[in-house]
Amino acid sequence: MPVFKLREIAEKINGKLFGDGEIIIKDAAKIESAGPGDITFLANLRYKNELIRTNASAVIVSEKMEVDVPIPHILVDDAYYRFLQVFLMFYPRKEIAEPGIHPTAVIHPSVQIGEHVSIGPNVVIGKNCIIGDRTKILANCVIMNEVQIGAECLIYPLVSVREECIIGNRVIIHNGAVIGSDGFGFAQHGGIFHKIPQIGRVIVEDDVEIGANCTIDRATMGETIIRKGVKLDNLVHIAHNVEVGESTVMAAQAGISGSTKIGHHVMIGGQVGTVGHITIGNYAQIGAQSGVSKSVPDNETVFGYPARPIMKTKRIEAVLNQLPDLYKKIRVMEKELNILKNTALDNSSS
299 and 315 share one domain: no
Per-residue pLDDT tens digits for 291-306: 999 999 999 999 998 9
Say if 255 falls within a structural domain: yes
Q: Which of 73, 240, 264, 277 is catalytic?
A: 240
Does residue 42 sit within a domain? yes
pLDDT for res 350: 61
Q: Give residue-wise pLDDT tens across range 243-276.
A: 999 999 999 999 999 999 999 999 999 999 999 9
Looking at residue 314, its pLDDT comes to 86
Claim to verify: residue 295 and residue 321 sit in the same structural domain: no
Domain limits for position 322: 310-350
Query: What are 325-340's pLDDT values in tens digits?
Result: 888 899 989 888 888 8
In angstroms, the CA 170 to CA 330 distance is 63
Does residue 298 share a domain with residue 256?
Answer: yes
Q: Please tell me the pTM assigned to this model.
A: 0.88
Q: Would you say residue 297 lies in a domain?
A: yes
State the total domains in the chain. 3
Q: Are both 298 and 175 inside the same structural domain?
A: yes
Q: Say whether both 191 and 57 belong to one domain.
A: no
Same domain, 166 and 65: no
- Do residues 286 and 344 both lie within one domain? no
Active site residue 237: no
Confidence of residue 101 (pLDDT cuts 50, 70, 90): very high
Domain match, 262 and 318 both? no
Task: Report which residue type is found at 53.
Answer: R
The reply to whether 297 and 315 lie within a common domain is no
- Secondary structure in 3-state letters for the chain: CCCEEHHHHHHHCCCEEECCCCCEECEECCCCCCCCCEEEEECCHHHCCHHHHCCCCEEEEECCCCCCCCCCEEEECCHHHHHHHHHHHHCCCCCCCCCEECCCCEECCCCEECCCCEECCCCEECCCCEECCCCEECCCCEECCCCEECCCCEECCCCEECCCCEECCCCEECCCCEEEECCCCEEEECCEEEECCCCCEEEECCCCEECCCCEEECCCCCEEEECCCCEECCCCEECCCCEECCCCEECCCCEECCCCEECCCCEECCCCEECCCCEECCCCEECCCCEECCCECCCCEEECCCCEEHHHHHHHHHHHHCHHHHHHHHHHHHHHHHHHHHHHHHHHHC
Q: Worst-scoring range by mean pLDDT, 61-65, 188-192, 217-221?
A: 61-65
- Are residue 164 and residue 254 in the same domain, yes or no? yes
Q: What is the pLDDT of residue 102?
A: 98
Q: What percent of the chain has a predicted confidence (pLDDT) above 70?
A: 99
Predicted local confidence at residue 45, as pLDDT: 85
- 213 has a pLDDT exceeding 80: yes
- Give me the CATH number covering residue 202: 2.160.10.10
User: Does 262 share its domain with 320?
Assistant: no
Q: Which of 181, 173, 255 is nearest to 244 (CA)?
A: 255
